[in-house]
Amino acid sequence: VLIAVAGPLAFGGAWSAWLYKALVLLVIACPCALVVSTPVTVVSGLAAAARAGILVKGGVWLERGRLLKAVALDKTGTLTRGQPALTDAFALGALSVDEALRLAASLDDASTHPVARAVVAGWRTRDAQSTQGALLAVDDFAVLNGLGVKGRIAGEVWHLGNHRLVESLGVCSPDLEARLATLETQGKTAIVLCSPREAVALFAVADAVRPESADAVRTLKQLGVTPVMLTGDNPATARAIAAQLGIDDARGNLLPQDKQDAVADLSARHGMTAMVGDGVNDAPALARADIGFAMGAAGTATALETADVAIMDDDPRKIAAFVGLSRKVSAVLMQNIALALGIKAVFLVLALAGEATLWMAVFADVGASLLVVANGLRVRRHFGSVPASVRN
C-alpha cells in the first residue's frame, strides 16, 4: 500500500506503474519458501531415521543431536549384549553351592534384570542334572535399586546383590574382598548371597561385549563426542570393559540417582549430553539428559517411555549415526534458509529498480518453494552412504 500510494505522490509517475510494482513486491514478500523449508527438512530427517531403525519422538530432538558433546552409556544391555551367563559359584559358609544357588535363583526369579536372569538360568542348567527340586517360595520380595534384591524364604531374610550391598549390610570380610577383587578384575560381575549374619555364597556372571560397541565408541570420538561409561557394576569390571572399548572415563558402583548426578556433571563440564540405557535404573539419567536414547529391543517399557530416541535393534553405532544425521539436517536447513532469503533479496532489488515483472515474481516465489522442498527431501537418502549393517 505504501509503494502504491506514496510512490506516485513522492516520486511522480503513473499510478498504474507504481501499483504494478507494489503487486510485484507483494508476491516476492510471500514467505512460503522460508516457512516450508524447515518442516520438510525435519520430516525428511525423521523419516530417514525411522527407516534406519532410529525412532525419534520429535523434530526438536533431531535438531539437538548436532550439539552433543558427551554421551553417557550404560554397560549392561547397551555396550554389552545384556545376556550374561553364570560363570562361577563358590560356597562361603555351611551351605553347599547347589543349595546356595537354589536360594539365589529363588530370590532372582521375580527380577527382570539381566544378571538376575543369568543366575536363574544357571540354576536351571544345574538343576537339570541334579535333584534339587523347584524354586523356593519368596515372601516380602523387594528390588533394591542399584544394589540387588531381598526376600524372606522359610521365615529368614536373604539378600542377594553386588559389592556395595555387601558393604551396606556389614558382612564383608578380607577374604571376600580378595575373592571379589579377583572376579572384578576379570571383567565379571560378582554377586553375593547374604544371610542376616554372614555372606554365604559368591557368584559371578560375565556378559559379552557387543561386537559393534568398539566401532560405536571410535565413531563418537571422531565426531568430537566424548563417550563415558556409567554402570551399577563395580569399578574394576567397569574399567576392564571400558579398556576393551577405548573409553577413558568409566564410573562404577552407581545407583540410579548417581547416574542422574553423573549426567548432570557431564552436562556442566562438556555441554549438551546424552544418556544411553535400557533398564529401569537408567530412567532418571535418561530423563535428566539433554537427549535420552533407549535400546528398543532389550529396553524396559520405563526406559522407552522416558527416552527421547529409541534404537530399535540395540546397535550402539546408531548413536553416532543419529549425530551425523542431525548435522546433515542442520546443514540442509541453513542451505534452505539462505536459498529462500537470497532469492527474495535479489528479486526485491530488481523490483525496486523496476526490472522485475509479475511473472518473474511468481517464479521467484513458487520456484524458491520447490527448490527448498527438493533440497530438504535429499535428507531422506542420508543413510544411503553408510554400511548396510548400520542402516538395517
> Where in the sequence numbering do the catalytic residues fall?
74
Place of cell 577374604: 175
Backbone angles phi, psi at 257, to 5 degrees: -65, -35
Reading the block at residue 167, the C-alpha cell is 558393604
Instruction: Decide: 13 and 28 in contact? Cβ < 8 Å.
Output: no
User: If you count DSSP H runs as helices and E runs as strands, how many of each does the chain have, helices first?
Assistant: 16, 13
Cβ neighbours, 10 Å, residue 195: 18
75: which DSSP letter? I
Q: Which of 45, 34, 126 is nearest to 321 (CA)?
A: 45
The three-point CA angle 285-289-295 to 5° equals 65
> Considering just the CA atoms, what is the radius of gyration of the chain in Å?
30
Question: How far are the Cα atoms of 165, 167, 282, 300, 351 from residue 117, in angstroms, in the given order?
Answer: 19, 23, 18, 14, 73
CA pair distance 34, 383, nearest whole angstrom: 26
β 291-295/309-311 pair status: parallel
Instruction: Decide: 288 and 256 in contact? Cβ < 8 Å.
Output: no
DSSP codes of every residue in 93-104: SSS-HHHHHHHH
Question: How far are the Cα atoms of 95, 139, 238 from residue 153, in angstroms, in the given order?
Answer: 15, 6, 32
CA pair distance 256, 281, nearest whole angstrom: 5
Reading the block at residue 209, the C-alpha cell is 561385549
Helix or strand holding residue 63 (H, E): helix 59-64
Which residues, listed in sequence order, are joined to residue 158 by a DSSP beta bridge? 151
